[in-house]
Amino acid sequence: MTDDTTHRTTEPAGRRVALVSGGSRGIGRSVVLRLARDGFDVSFCYRSNAAMAESLQKELAGLPVRTLAAQVDVADGEAVRAWVARTEKELGPVDVVVTSAGITRDKPLMLMSDDDWHSVLDTNLDGSYHVNRAVVVPMMKRKSGSVINLSSVSGVYGNPSQANYSASKAGIIGFTKALAKEVGRFGIRANVVAPGLIDTDMTDALSDKAREELLRAVPLRRFGRAEEVADLVSYLASDAAAYITGSVFEIHGGITI
């Protein structure tokens, strides 16, 4: 898989199409797998790790759905629009969109550079805007759709040394609530999932001591699993959540209580 190509499997079409940003790793990867198992054809993007995307495509190959993978920087609105257009051409209209692409540049504010600030806001907040903007307008024309934007408990409660990340994730919450009010009359739902400490490649980098300190703050005494977040996304994408919109779902093992 090269920087400017996509790959698509040839299995029979599923009933609906889901689009997932940041789908090659962590929570996004689990979301892609779960939605594919739910019967969605899935288009996902990744920023730089082609090997992880290729690995995911191989895992998806055993499922009776079509998939499309594209290397896209979600901070680039034109690239996002091209990805969405290709998804609609190859897979069909998007029924569910999940924004999972995100980065961190953690530092105390006094040590944070302008680039640390802007790179996080550009990817996390602007990236969510670009994906939502490209997908929601066609949804409005069809009068149906489900939007699920990934935030974080850092966006709900704030976190030291994460002023940039917390701001971007809080922005996603405000953006989604405003969107829910705008598009509800078109039959579109928009919700937020705000995870806490989840076992991903980011948390794998923590020392044993750091993990122990963090776990003491979690009443359930464990990190969450990416699959558990994907289960919640799956529910919000389903018809079982047909009367839920404008809501923020925290999944954090009780760390904030």
Q: How far apart are CA 141 and CA 143, in angstroms?
A: 6
Active-site residue among 46, 129, 157, 165? 165
- Is position 165 annotated as part of the catalytic site? yes
Tell me the two tokens of residue 71.
């290397």
Which residue numbers belong to the known binding site? 22-25, 165-169, 198
Going from N- to C-terminal start, the domains of the chain cover: 6-251
Q: Which residues, 6+ apart, have CB-to-CB distance to 132 below 8 Å? A: 97, 99, 147, 149, 175, 179
Which listed CATH number (3.40.47.10, 3.40.50.720, 3.40.50.1820, 3.40.605.10) goes with 6-251? Answer: 3.40.50.720
pLDDT number for residue 205 = 67
Integer Cα distance of 192 and 58 in angstroms? 29
Residue ranges at the known binding site for NADP(+): 22-25, 165-169, 198
Q: What's the pLDDT band for 139 if we cut at 50, 70, 90?
A: very high
What number is the average pLDDT over the span 104-117?
97
Helix (H, G, I), strand (E, B) or coil at 34: helix
3-state secondary structure of 18: strand
pLDDT digits over 28-68, tens only? 999 999 999 999 999 999 999 999 999 999 999 999 999 99
C-alpha span between 146 and 152 (Å, rounded): 19
pLDDT at 225 over 80: yes
Cα–Cα distance between 45 and 86 in angstroms, integer? 12
| 12 secondary structure, DSSP code | P
pTM: 0.92
**Distance of alpha carbon 222 from alpha carbon 214, whole angstroms:** 9
